């Protein structure tokens, strides 16, 4: 399905629809006890993971489901806020408190540390996202600021066993 118009500029669904879709996705994940709603990337596609960060103002745990792909041991996402302006709250939280927890399909948990990719690494990872989403540059042009490429690196001893989970 193409979300573009005849002029070649991408057209997004209304903001309320995007927010509703993600709300339903999170609700489905909760109602099904985490058995539905997350998947691993396959072929030239992206996967979905659940990221739990520490709130930058409240200090409380905040969870969101985001798209990602794997780059060696790292998980890579985009801080895109549904292609709307402004940074997503999870990215602002991660910039303040970079240590987080990721839930992956199959019940695997990882301790991760988030950071923005820069320089050649950012270019390489952006190009990889462009292979997954051929409209990436057009969607990114809808935003008034650069979209951060977020790298979630494993923390030492951070696979499968997460304290307090």
62 pLDDT more than 80: yes
Q: CA-CA distance, 24 to 120, in Å (whole number)?
A: 36
Q: Which residue has the tokens 């005849």?
A: 6
Q: What is the CATH number of domain 15-159?
A: 2.30.110.10
Q: What is the pLDDT of residue 33?
A: 72
What are the boundaries of each domain within the chain?
Answer: 15-159
CA dist 85 and 23 (Å) reads 19
Structure confidence at residue 68 (pLDDT): 97
Q: What number is the average pLDDT over the span 7-20?
A: 71
pLDDT at 162 over 70: no
């Amino acid at each position: 399905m193409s979300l573009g118009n005849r002029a070649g500029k991408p057209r997004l669904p209304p903001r309320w629809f995007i927010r509703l879709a993600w709300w339903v996705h999170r609700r489905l994940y909760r109602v099904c006890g985490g058995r539905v709603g997350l998947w691993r990337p396959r072929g030239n596609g992206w996967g979905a993971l659940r990221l739990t960060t520490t709130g930058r103002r409240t200090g409380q745990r905040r969870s969101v489901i985001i798209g990602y792909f794997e780059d060696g041991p790292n998980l890579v996402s985009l801080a895109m806020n549904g292609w709307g302006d402004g940074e997503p709250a999870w990215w602002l939280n991660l910039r303040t408190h970079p240590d987080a927890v990721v839930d992956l399909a199959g019940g695997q948990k990882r301790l991760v540390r988030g950071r923005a990719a820069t320089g050649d690494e950012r270019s390489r990872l952006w190009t990889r996202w462009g292979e997954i989403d051929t409209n990436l540059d057009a969607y990114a042009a809808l935003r008034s600021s650069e979209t951060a490429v977020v790298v979630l690196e494993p923390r030492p001893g951070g696979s499968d066993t997460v304290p307090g989970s």
